[in-house]
Chains A and B, each alone.
Chain A
């Protein structure tokens, strides 16, 4: 029996079309717009001005607080404006727009592709290096990585977990990365272990990536303390709490963090970025993005510079099919629908997913038949139907009592509902209202 988490979960069709497509380097765009808020926490403060010349890898916005990180230019060229620009969400966000001229990198970056195995960096410098390189969780949550590595006083990290689960259907970027940059991922894992001072790390990979599991198992023999575990294919195994439970059978307490059970979770993409930052001195300004969809010509995995418009990626994958009805940034379960192709690739963009018109729409909402399927699939043991009803009735104190804040917004409930009710939409609403209530209560 393969390991997996205990509660709930679903198994949507995997549809990993781009799984055998090697990672390609996307041609440089003409212009990039780099938002200064690509991570959870305070937006970075721009340190360049209009008309400044910047180089690839040069810092353009500085971390503004502990939970924040640096932003680097992903191209070389001239800053044409720093302005509020309509972002993928339809809201305007401050971005740095750079017109591309050539591709001149900052000199300190080691551009060679040679593998550098020896870790010479001091333990105390690793966190600073990661902050300098602007690394965030590349699984999609974009939580600044240095924060996760700074273990709070009184807590002790015992084990590092590397998330190679990629439980979202369609996406293959982590899978390709593990296959093609397996060794680098392992070195990155070693660096993270050193930063945390732990001797054990587990890489969890779902069993639908057998080639990646075999590849990493054979490589990991040379690396002490790194173990590769195959996991049963079940969504949302990539959720931190679910993954920890699946691999080491510890339950993160409600409202707690993984460090409360001695675990720290990082994505394989993050491990690779850490390798590049520490060993090659290269900040995070590009990432692997899967471009896929049911009717797209050439599903691909690209290395794209941050700030590249989504339209360029779609163009490189054979153009936007005429029947496109919805474009999603990220996976189909947790990704965000885009309303404009001009939206830039950000640090959290793991994939661009094009749905044809016939799959772009939700089904009509029907009355709840109390089948309790949402209860049985909820990985957090919540009652989605109840949270939705309570939210609709605006009984937010009850929503809070029903542990709405534990919801990880995996979408399993909405996915599985036979009456196609927008359960998660309302749970999110309930959560945001509950957080507001808690905030105002704390103020008092």
Chain B
């Protein structure tokens, strides 16, 4: 025979999906939020995002080439995504050198030290963010006020995030609705993104658009976002109903801080989330409860990143103890 036939076990066709496609899908879904960040934070947002992405790719390349001496896989989009998420998780006025260090920690410690994509336990972007938050608390918590379409390099006026304002105010014995009205924060601003906060988390609208895109493309499943946000809503709602003065209302919790960014884009990170639907729901519920606990009773005003990282650690055990329901597991009595 002139040409040799290929022999392989079935199936002989495969879906038109690949790791880069999944990664770039998430990146596309993050684009609306990216544009919103440029709209409100101008050139600073662009610079931080660019620095984070470039340094993530560079560190991954260097580590793979010189430390691990393995195949270079920077084109699979995972490093770009990590960079983008790091940028989305920092304030718009963060010095670029901190962004570079954060990227190094995210890629080097968060990802490559575990063996690269697929082997890491914790979400790399969040490892980077938490590292920066703990190491550079001042820079990481000075939030520039949003200035619409201002591309100048002048130092921005800093403000605080709604969550920080509320936390501070409650500590001083003020009441929740007084703080909100005093600060002049409206829910519509929170929804659109006209408020202080990390680059990517400000606009609930943009994040929701991306989330719908991800769900439609079947890149993520509904389990984690719905369970995280649902739990946050219910749990904060219960607290709010017990005392409307010292606890923020549930809508406020969902619209501020990293709730949506975390629930839709970071908790759903494939590598660090459980693989079974049941596990994903428990994972989401855990994140929701921990977030509200940290926000309401903890020292930090925001708790999504800590909550996700803590629940990441439970993923292996969730995978072991939450099995999907097998087909034919329960014998169905066939009597008509």
Contact = CB atoms under 8 A, between A and B. Distances in A.
**Chain A in direct contact with chain B (Cβ < 8 angstroms):** yes
B6 A337 contact: yes
A7 B331 CA distance: 16
A342 to B, nearest CB: 10
Contacts of B175: none
Interface of A: 7, 10, 12-13, 90, 158, 169, 241, 245, 250-256, 260-262, 324-328, 330, 332-339, 353, 355, 357, 359-363, 366-373, 375-376, 378-383, 385-386, 403, 406, 409, 411, 414-420, 422, 424-425, 428
Nearest to A235: B11
Given A158-B334, A418-B18, A420-B14, 14 more contacts: A254-B327, A256-B331, A332-B10, A337-B5, A337-B8, A367-B116, A367-B117, A381-B324, A383-B275, A383-B276, A406-B327, A415-B11, A416-B17, A418-B15
A424 B10 CA distance: 8
Contact of B14 (A327, A330, A414): A414
A-B residue pairs, 4 tightest by C-beta: A411-B11, A372-B275, A371-B270, A367-B118
B12 A252 contact: no
Contacts of B5: 324-327, 337-339, 360
State which size class the interface on B falls in: 35 or more
B18 A411 contact: no
Contacts of A328: 10, 12
Interface string B1-36: 001011111111111011101100000000000000
Contacts of A335: 10, 12
B324 A256 contact: no
A369 B11 contact: no
Contacts of B155: none
A424 B327 contact: no
A382 to B, nearest CB: 7
B114 to A, nearest CB: 11
Contacts of A373: 17
Contacts of A406: 326-328
A77 B326 CA distance: 52
A415 B14 contact: yes
A363 B14 contact: yes
A376 B323 contact: no
Contacts of B331: 253, 256
B13 A385 contact: no
Nearest to A369: B118
B277 to A, nearest CB: 8
A336 B119 contact: no
A325 B5 CA distance: 5
B64 interface: no
Interface in B252-276: 270-276
B275 A362 contact: no
Interface in B306-325: 319, 323-325
B9 A422 contact: yes
Nearest to A355: B12
Interface in B262-310: 270-277
B326 A403 contact: yes
Interface in B19-63: 19, 21-22
Interface of A is mostly: loop
A261 B332 contact: yes
Contacts of B277: 375-376
B11 A334 contact: yes
Contacts of B116: 367
Interface of B is mostly: loop
A371 B117 contact: no
B9 A251 contact: no
B275 A375 contact: yes
A415 to B, nearest CB: 5
* Most chain A beta carbons < 10 A, residue from B12, B22, B271, B326: B12
B330 interface: yes
Interface of B: 3, 5-15, 17-19, 21-22, 76, 116-119, 221, 270-277, 319, 323-332, 334, 336
Contacts of A375: 275-277, 324
* Most chain B beta carbons < 10 A, residue from A10, A158, A363, A372: A372
A239 to B, nearest CB: 10
A386 B274 CA distance: 12
Nearest to A242: B327
Nearest to A8: B327
Contacts of B334: 158, 250, 260-262
Given A325-B5, A361-B6, A375-B276, A366 B327 contact: no
Nearest to B272: A370
A348 to B, nearest CB: 13
Contacts of A336: 10
A370 B270 contact: yes
A241 B327 CA distance: 9
A252 B326 CA distance: 11
A200 to B, nearest CB: 10
Nearest to B332: A251
Contacts of A251: 327-328, 330, 332
Contact of A252 (B10, B270, B319, B328): B328
B328 A383 contact: no
A114 to B, nearest CB: 39
Contacts of B221: 372, 376
Contacts of A367: 116-119
Contact of B10 (A7, A333, A371, A383): A333
B327 A381 contact: yes
* Most chain B beta carbons < 10 A, residue from A252, A334, A371, A409: A371
A420 B116 CA distance: 17
A368 B17 CA distance: 14
Contact of A379 (B7, B271, B327, B336): B327
Contacts of B336: 158
A355 B6 CA distance: 10
Contacts of B319: 386
B10 A418 contact: no
Given A369-B271, A370-B118, A10 B15 contact: yes
* Most chain B beta carbons < 10 A, residue from A332, A379, A428: A332
Contact of A339 (B7, B10, B14, B118): B7
Contacts of A169: 13
Nearest to A324: B3
Contacts of A360: 5-6
Contacts of B328: 241, 251-256, 380, 406
Contacts of B326: 254, 380-382, 403, 406
Contacts of B324: 375, 378, 381-383
